Amino acid sequence: MSGWSEQPVTIESLQPAQLHDLLRQMLQQFTTTLDLQVVSTALLRALLHLTASSYGTFGEVLHTEDGILYFKPIVMLQAELPDRERSKHDAAQQWNALLDSLCCVFDDVLHTGQLVITAHLQQYLQSGTLLKQPLALCPQPTTHVAPLNAVALPIYHDTTLVGIMSLVGRTDGYTTSLTDLLTPFINTYAAILENARLRDLQQYVIDDLQRTKETLAFVHQEQTALVIDELHELHTSLTAVLKAVNELETQVELPFAGYEPIKTIHQESAHVMTLIKHLVTHLCTKGIKHLDT
């Protein structure tokens, strides 16, 4: 889409085929890169050129855990100007001051869901904005802002406000007929925002499942280690029993009838110890290497 910034075409003269090609490029770039920042930058740069605007922003509308909506910028661009017209320092100051001025405009869009068009940002703020807020509630520019017109458009996916686009500083101003021409761009970008949101949600679910799997594996490992410890204690106890039985057989003379119970104890204890070794070996193959039995 970078080539669009070099073409001598305005949004009013944009032919259906050209519009289709531009939107197709935007969608193709997103499906190829899955990079919302890159696609937003490319589209906004094209719109700055097509509308002859000086500044532009794209951003998401998100909400806090309490359900309060807020605006999160994705990309903010300023049309390139020759160095002789304005120094980089002056341009940065102007841009920062402009963002302060746009604050209440974005806030109006968030709370009303309506399009905002103004011929003079400062007069718009001083008039109280759509919400009739006192001017003190909005950040005041720290430097002088030249009179600039602006438009802020809500971006909807179905009936949900998902983003805001703003354009500032068009020589011929902004009109509702111009915003109608922007509708295909807004609708396409809304679909991309929703796709990006679903992709982020999918990745969150995948990460959460992985964390759950790791947690369960850790719990299982801890439980298995506990079982092995208990088997080790049982193994030690049975070893002591067998030792005592052996000493009993060699040191104490018993009637012939007494040898059979001792023999049974010896055999069954040895069998239990073999079972313990097999069980520990089985547990160790599941990822636990804890004992040398």
Task: Please tell me the distance from the alpha carbon of residue 157 to that of residue 189, in angstroms, as a whole number.
Answer: 9
Least confident of 33-42, 146-155, 235-244, 251-260: 251-260
For the residues 212-229, what does the mean pLDDT come to?
67
Q: Is residue 88 within 8 Å of 115, Cβ to Cβ?
A: no
What is the model's pLDDT at position 134?
41
As a whole-number percent, the residues of the chain with pLDDT over 90 amount to: 4
Radius of gyration of the chain (CA): 36
- Residue 100, amino acid: D
Q: How far is CA 206 from CA 202, 203, 212, 251, in A?
A: 6, 5, 10, 66
What is the model's pLDDT at position 259?
55
What is the model's pLDDT at position 133?
47
Q: Report the first-to-last Cα separation within the chain, whole angstroms.
A: 68
Tokens of 231: 């088997």
Task: Express each pLDDT in 57-89 by its tens digit.
Answer: 998 998 888 888 888 888 888 876 545 445 554
pTM score: 0.61
Is the pLDDT at 177 greater than 70? The verdict is yes
Q: Are strands 160-168 and 55-63 parallel, antiparallel or unpaired?
A: antiparallel
Name residues whose C-beta falls within 8 Å of residue 187's C-beta, 6 or more positions apart in sequence. Answer: none
Buried b / exposed e over 243-259, threshold 16 CB at 10 Å, is eebeeeeeeeeeeeeee
Q: Is residue 36 within 8 Å of 79, Cβ to Cβ?
A: no
Task: Please tell me the distance from the alpha carbon of residue 216 to that of residue 213, in angstroms, as a whole number.
Answer: 5
Region 2-207: CATH code: 3.30.450.40
Task: Please tell me the distance from the alpha carbon of residue 234 to that of residue 214, in angstroms, as a whole number.
Answer: 30
- Residue for token digits 């719990």? 219
- Domains of the chain, by residue range, sit at 2-207, 215-285
What is the model's pLDDT at position 155?
92
